[in-house]
Structure 1
Amino acid sequence: MHSSYSSIFLVILIFFFHFNFLSNSLAFFPASNVTLFGDAYFRNNAISLTQELRSCSSSSSSSSSSSSSSSGVGRAFYTYPIRFLDSITNTTASFSSRFSFSITPSPSPCSSGDGFAFLITPNAQSFSFSKGYMGLPEPGLTSQASFFAVEFDTSFDPSLGDINGNHIGIDVNTVVSLASIDAVSRRIDLKSGRKITAWIEYRDAMKMIRVWVGFSPIRPPTPFLVAQIDLSKEFKEFMYVGFSGSNGQGSAIHVVDKWRFKTFGFTPSVIPIDTVEEGDCLLCFSEDSNVKRHPAVDLSHKSKTRVSEIALGLGGLAAFVFSIVAILVVIGFILIKKKRVLEGRSREAIASRDQTNRVPTRLSLADIRSATMGFNRNRIVGQGASAVVYKGSLPVGGEVAVKRFERGNAFDCLRNPFSTEFATMVGCLRHKNLVQLQGWCCEGNELVLVYEYLPNGSLDKIIHKKSNTAIVLSWKQRLHIVLGVASALAYLHEECERQIIHRDVKTCNIMLDGEFNAKLGDFGLAEVYEHSSLTREATIPAGTMGYLAPEYVYSGVPTVKTDVYSFGVVVLEVAAGRRPVDDDGTVIVDWAWNLWEKGKLIEAADLRLDEKYDGGDMERMLMVGLACVHPNHAKRPTVKEAARILRGEAPLPVLPARKPRVSLRPVLPNDTEEILNIGGARSSNDDPPYMTPKSHFSKNET
């Protein structure tokens, strides 16, 4: 057994050293994929477009005092031209690009540099190296080549129409932006020196360019900048793609790394543009990290026609990928020859590993089909609006829940549940009361998420099942479940790196493991915000009627308090054993308030408990539920406060004698006294509050 391990290890070492030695002569490193111009150079596994100047008192002085070879301008282009137009079909490619960058100004008294730009141009060597303008052509010069650029501008030049010295703009054939946005207003300081990630996407079918920017590697849900542009009139058949930056009269280091770029939409065999998965291929391709880069080599040769789709990473190398594949082949061959002696033990060890420490991995479609017996209908354990859930079994990992997204929903070009749920789950969701993501598959037209399998299914199927053989949850189990959901929501709202509003808290999204521990799942509607963000954008209200807070139905603005309302409905549902809206149209919230007004709240307790509970504890839970569904969002507790009351660590909530009417006031952070304008003129503070909106669920005419 030990000799088997030794032979495997020896083969790996020999192969790795041999391959790395030979790979120095291969033309697969970034130096052969990227051509550098001017001041650009490879720096710390990335590309620096500019060099820090020793003196920057003026444009001329900086020129003289710096190195004689320094122009203050640097560019880096993918060496080979990329096809953007198909002359036969007369179609224009769409494209998407993702890259990380940082801009670090030199210490005072130097001012910051000009900034840099993502650039597409038919001639990479046509621009001059005169200082300024991020290396783009000076306005008014007609001899320069056409170009498209997204600028990250850190200098203020009123003559160019700049809005300030910290903005992002879209340029077409001129450095004067046709659209721009103040970065600081969106809490992005381009000159902070922090690593920033940008996503740039052009959809030719929509004639639209969209730009996302954020400090997180996960793309924000809302574009930073959107502009309607028809680039088919600007693109040539072959164009060069890269970056350009300059220091002008200042000094800063402009660094770009982890760049990915692809074009799509040419041939009929390709998925139509409107159904291509939203994103930058990070959902379909693994990150290229920890890759060695070599000194700069300036290559100016051109290649013949390249394929139209490129996944280019300054952090990803063909040689590295090839070496990994080769090593895996060698390991696999040896393991097969050893008759898989360790397979059984490995399977048991992985199955017993703590689920919260599992790192999600990419799985092949073949693995998924095998696990679900070809998505057999007999394997279906759940079905929602956007996905079907199958019970599956993987050779390594045991039983799993396979969530297969419907094509119509998963490939929505603006927002899809798969992208939202995947991005949210891999962000920071490692909590014992959240369903844990184990893997994913993005292959062909299939989008699949693989979760841990929870044998007791969803809470709603247990709490509302009426048969004689149905499981009746004890009072202790119900309290434990409610506290588990509260713990999960507190983590999402306050403890996670970014604040997450679930937007769909309900009993069918609360799963139960073998010991009836609650785990919140289904993040297809989740909204993610920076904790410091004071802005909330209105959306089309999403969720399930009966769980939606009244102010959210009116305004479409999700907050932690709209999640608290949904949590309150769950609390009432668990205590009473009733659905949010009964078959006869009775709304549980109105029903519970009615009992409270009559002084008979304890009568809401689930009769199936057969009074096997403490009356004080039951009334405490029902009162917490009513406090959470208070019509005035400001009167609702946080989930942490609600949990403390449930545990008896805080006094009972103070409830009004009668259910208050709904006051529709802003639910944004730092509440103001301004009443929301719903379909009419602005209301004054003297106006009576709006009543609860009527719906087909309501029995009473108000």
Structure 2
Amino acid sequence: MHSSHPFLIWVLFFLFVNLTCPSISVPFSPATNNVTLSGDAYINNNAISLTQELTTCPSSSSSSTTSGIGRAFYAYPIRFLDSKTNATASFLCRFSFSITPSSQLCSCGDGIAFVITPDVDSLSSSRGYMGLPEPTSTSKESFFAVEFDTRFDPMVGDINGNHIGIDVNTVVSVASVDVVSRGIDLTSGREITAWIEYRDAIKMIRVWVGYSSTRPPTPLLVAQIDLSKQFKEFMRVGFSASNGQGSSIHIVDRWKFKTFGSLPPGIPMDAVEEGDCFMCSSPEDSSINSSPVDHSHERKTKMVEMALGLGGLAAFLFSIFAFLFVICFMCVKKRKVIARRSREGQTCRVEAKRVPTSLSLAEIRSATMGFNRNRVVGEGASAKVYKGSLPSGGEVAVKRFERADKIGCLRSPFTTEFATMVGCLRHKNLVQLHGWCCEGNELVLVYELMPNGSLNKILHKSFNSSVVLSWKQRLNIVLGVASALAYLHEECERQIIHRDVKTCNIMLDADFNAKLGDFGLAEVYEHSSLARDATIPAGTMGYLAPEYVYSGVPTVKTDVYSFGVVVLEVATGRKPVEDDGTVVVDWVWGMWENGKLIEAADRRLMGKFDMVEMERTLMTGLACVHPNHVKRPTMKEAGRILKGEAPLPVLPASKPRVNLRPVFPDDSEEISNFCSLRPSLELDDVQYLTPKSHFGKD
């Protein structure tokens, strides 16, 4: 019985998706009225020819601007957005096409694009750009396109004249890939099959291309893009092509398309696309000498028969669905802990003008002199940071992550950091994201450059340097970090837990103002959500709260603890864990117990500080690292105490014993069962509780 559960679950889920999720499944022939043609497009042998063969090469002085453009769109709008639930549809698309140069005297045409747009009429009337809006277009209508570009135009960032790109609202692609190196020649005249998939749950677009009708195992192009911001309730789906200054015949032979209310990663494309044809004519169809009307009638008759048969089957299956669903649900509930929620795509709403700029890999390489080693200004476990210079943006910090083929792209630090930063992080004390690049296997984020580097470098590596932070600068730094964390915890639309607050991730601008960065470990939650998933603790030795190391559950109070360690670091000048093993938290608690708290101040300050401010800062730091997470202040409260706007915290006479208990919501049955396997801990002397094999030293 137990061995059959996975099979039953898969079958039930497959039935649930196909019986309840909205989808488009309307077969038609190009000869019927289900497709709208415009421009040069026409029907030829049960296929759509988007452009016509030219007898002479077009010139820039040609009088007709629309000549050379052809479009074919499904005649009816398709629902992509549920206005009541704000849920965005995922979609799968498969089509076959060919591009054949029609003259040896002319250059190739521009290429063909698969397009989703709310308004076909808003597309460009210019002869170029595959019929998509020009880069300088003032049209405010959004569109999404996958371009099969056969004309090299460096003005729009093309990598060559034989590439595939993903376009969002502009022909300057957000991601592109050279297909020549993958053995594909778009202008060979051979039939090419393309598969395009968008999964809204993970905000991921994948594109496969091949000469065979069997989908290749590896996608040619992968990009993390949230299309929910682009889609309106109803959109038009189709193709556009243009010849521009060249001459090619662009033909679409077959086309399958389907939308889903939900498309989890476990369901493969080929298992769900059968029967969802927009254009299902086969090579055999073109040789049959029957009229289009008769052919359409036969197809409609078959569809009615199929619908009647499937209707009876669906009624029978649905009658047992509820019974089997309850049984399987109870089995899953008993056997599984709450599934780890997906972080990808969990971003706050942001105004379009605040979205970072997509940069080409060529621009990135130019800015960093080809990722020159002499340009490296920082290095972490998953990325290197280069100092760069962009023509349009001055000096920047270019964060180059490990190659996508090494770390994977669904749950990488790049994915987490990009999704978090692009979402809603606009605060004066957060490092600002200027741009990004996801081209080929390169994953790059471009940030504003912080001239004074990290707080760790200034605070702990300047003993033989003239750079010693003044007390005023130090207090301003901790106040800035407190403001940034309060924003993440309480003011952003979705609550963000940083999970890696430390001096290495606090950057200093030219005026030594603090800006928190590195969101590669961040967790994003709805403010109303109480659910927190237990994981292997992530962070850095000396900064992790005891209950987090014990339970693996991040909360805002674990960030408060890390902030408290930073406060004590800044005030004392000591490292979180000294080379001799001394823990700064324990050392400052000891000074408090002996009534010598003020003596914990950094000696390099040579007494040049306000004693009241120093005492307040040290006491705030101790309150934040209280072993009992309930006794710690919130970040907003900590900021008010540091400013003198709230009373000093009440501290015990000596460091409390660590009493570790579950921090999960009381009504979480699965988590409670999990926690019951681990007794609470009471330790007189708990150090930083950080397994050295899991964390870095910096």
Deviations 1:169-197 (A, max 9, x none): xxxxxxx9999999xxx99xxxxxxxxxx
Change (3 A) 1:444 1:595: same
Among 90, 114, 122, the alignment partner of 2:274 is: 122
| 1:414 CA drift (Å) | 5.2
Q: Which residue number corresponds to residue 510 of structure 1?
A: 506
Counterpart secondary structure, 2:544: coil
- The answer on 1:376 being equivalent to 2:528 is no
Change (3 A) 1:495 1:651: same
| 1:670 CA drift (Å) | 6.7
Deviations 1:635-664 (A, max 9, x none): 000111001001111000011111111111
- The answer on 1:42 being equivalent to 2:77 is yes
Amino acid at match of 2:314: E
How does 1:19-58 map onto structure 2 within 5 Å? 26-31=70-75, 41-42=76-77
Counterpart secondary structure, 2:408: coil
CA distance in 1, matches of 2:463, 2:660: 42
Change (3 A) 1:379 1:86: closer
Q: Which residue number corresponds to residue 294 of structure 2?
A: none
Contact 1:386 1:409 in 2 (8 A): no
Q: Which residue number corresponds to residue 664 of structure 1?
A: 660
Deviations 1:267-286 (A, max 9, x none): xxxxxxxxxxxxxxxxxxxx
How does 1:352-431 map onto structure 2 within 5 Å? 359-407=355-403, 411-412=407-408, 415-431=411-427
Q: Which residue number corresponds to residue 299 of structure 1?
A: none
Change (3 A) 1:493 1:596: same
Amino acid at match of 2:432: Q
How does 1:569-584 map onto structure 2 within 5 Å? 569-584=565-580
Contact 1:676 1:682 in 2 (8 A): no
Contact 1:549 1:562 in 2 (8 A): yes
TM-score (norm 1): 0.55
Amino acid at match of 1:484: G
| 1:474 CA drift (Å) | 1.1
Q: Which residue number corresponds to residue 138 of structure 1?
A: 314
Contact 1:389 1:402 in 2 (8 A): yes
Percent identity, please: 61
| 1:689 CA drift (Å) | 3.1
- The answer on 1:439 being equivalent to 2:435 is yes
| 1:468 CA drift (Å) | 3.7
Q: Which residue number corresponds to residue 450 of structure 1?
A: 446
Change (3 A) 1:385 1:117: closer
Amino acid at match of 2:624: C
CA distance in 1, matches of 2:93, 2:383: 41
CA distance in 2, matches of 1:456, 1:588: 25
Counterpart secondary structure, 2:570: helix
| 1:212 CA drift (Å) | 8.3
Contact 1:454 1:514 in 2 (8 A): yes
CA RMSD of aligned residues (A): 4.7
Among 677, 682, 688, the alignment partner of 1:689 is: 682
Counterpart secondary structure, 1:586: coil
Contact 2:194 2:209 in 1 (8 A): no
Change (3 A) 1:618 1:405: same
Q: Which residue number corresponds to residue 649 of structure 1?
A: 645
Amino acid at match of 2:450: L
Q: Which residue number corresponds to residue 152 of structure 2?
A: none
| 1:412 CA drift (Å) | 2.8
CA distance in 2, matches of 1:695, 1:628: 15
Change (3 A) 1:567 1:131: farther
CA distance in 2, matches of 1:424, 1:393: 24
TM-score (norm 2): 0.56
CA distance in 2, matches of 1:102, 1:158: 36
Among 340, 345, 352, the alignment partner of 1:219 is: 345
Contact 1:554 1:678 in 2 (8 A): no
Amino acid at match of 1:396: S
Q: Which residue number corresponds to residue 239 of structure 1?
A: none
CA distance in 1, matches of 2:309, 2:483: 52
Deviations 1:344-379 (A, max 9, x none): xxxxxxxxxxxxx86411111111111111111111
Among 467, 470, 486, the alignment partner of 1:471 is: 467
Counterpart secondary structure, 1:645: helix
CA distance in 1, matches of 2:306, 2:684: 65
Residue correspondences, number? 449
Counterpart secondary structure, 1:478: helix
Among 585, 589, 613, the alignment partner of 2:585 is: 589
CA distance in 2, matches of 1:179, 1:483: 50
Contact 2:659 2:683 in 1 (8 A): yes
Task: In structure 2, list runs of 5 or more residues that go unmatched.
Answer: 1-59, 84-90, 97-192, 196-207, 235-259, 264-270, 278-301, 692-698
- The answer on 1:604 being equivalent to 2:600 is yes
CA distance in 2, matches of 1:85, 1:366: 24
Q: Which residue number corresponds to residue 563 of structure 1?
A: 559
Among 591, 598, 614, the alignment partner of 2:610 is: 614
Amino acid at match of 1:537: D
Counterpart secondary structure, 1:432: coil
Change (3 A) 1:116 1:371: closer
Change (3 A) 1:27 1:662: same
Contact 1:459 1:507 in 2 (8 A): yes
How does 1:497-576 map onto structure 2 within 5 Å? 497-576=493-572
| 1:134 CA drift (Å) | 11
Contact 1:664 1:675 in 2 (8 A): no
Contact 1:382 1:388 in 2 (8 A): yes
CA distance in 2, matches of 1:94, 1:180: 35
CA distance in 1, matches of 2:227, 2:312: 20
Contact 1:664 1:676 in 2 (8 A): no
Contact 2:548 2:558 in 1 (8 A): yes
Task: In structure 1, list runs of 5 or more residues that go unmatched.
Answer: 1-13, 32-40, 50-74, 105-114, 142-155, 165-175, 188-209, 222-286, 290-356
Q: Which residue number corresponds to residue 478 of structure 2?
A: 482
How does 1:323-338 map onto structure 2 within 5 Å? none
CA distance in 1, matches of 2:674, 2:341: 31
